[in-house]
Amino acid sequence: MIFKRRVFDLSVAIIFAPLWGTLIGVLSVLVFWNLGRPIFFRQMRAGLGGRPFELIKFRTMSDKRDERGRLLPDEARLSGFGRRLRSLSLDELPELIHVLRGDMSLIGPRPLLLRYVERYNDRQIKRLKVYPGLTGWAQVNGRNSLSWDERLELDVWYVENRNLVLDIKILLRTVVCVLKRDGISAESSATMEEFRGSSES
């Protein structure tokens, strides 16, 4: 199963490499023009089995700070250009490099912060049994508009029911969700709120 999934991931990524490679080049220039350096946002995330890896995506926020030198809230730092990148999910495009490296799969639970791992309950920890994905079942069923409990339950459902047909279905639905710009942000925040553990734990 793992070998077949890896072949599927590499085949899709390589076939479309000229397209996404060109897009990454163009967007790198635009990010530099609008936000300056660094072009990429880097952050440690939990991969397969909870193993850490450094996630790379396009930067969408400025480094604006208050009079005390503290970073302003996310909403204040998210630029108009960055908001447009997020609305089309183009900030996630560099993660295809992780798919080529083998850190991620095309389909799977989204890679979350390392500190969240110890907050998962016995069911939620199952999401770490597969490689994290560029998109997943939770992303095509509400994405950031979902509560954490809903989102993590969808991740676990995917782990328990995953197959090639489901993966293809998720890929096709991802295209529709991106075009419709569904679930880009949580209702009350520019970014998803901190996960502090399940309300049912």
* Rounded average pLDDT over 40-46: 96
Cα separation, 27 vs 40, whole angstroms: 11
| Contacts with 59 (C-beta within 8 Å, 6 or more apart), sequence order | 31, 35, 38, 39, 40, 41, 82, 91
pLDDT > 70? residue 84: yes
Position 115 confidence tier, pLDDT thresholds 50, 70, 90: very high
Looking at residue 118, what is its pLDDT?
95
Say if residues 26 and 33 touch (Cβ distance below 8 Å).
Answer: no
Show the DSSP H helices in the chain as ranges: 2-15, 17-35, 74-77, 80-87, 96-101, 148-161, 164-180
* Rounded average pLDDT over 194-200: 79
pLDDT > 60? residue 186: no
pLDDT > 60? residue 190: no
Averaged pLDDT score across all residues of the chain: 89
Tell me how many degrees the CA angle 95-105-12 measures, rounded to the nearest 5: 85
Say if residues 103 and 133 touch (Cβ distance below 8 Å).
Answer: no
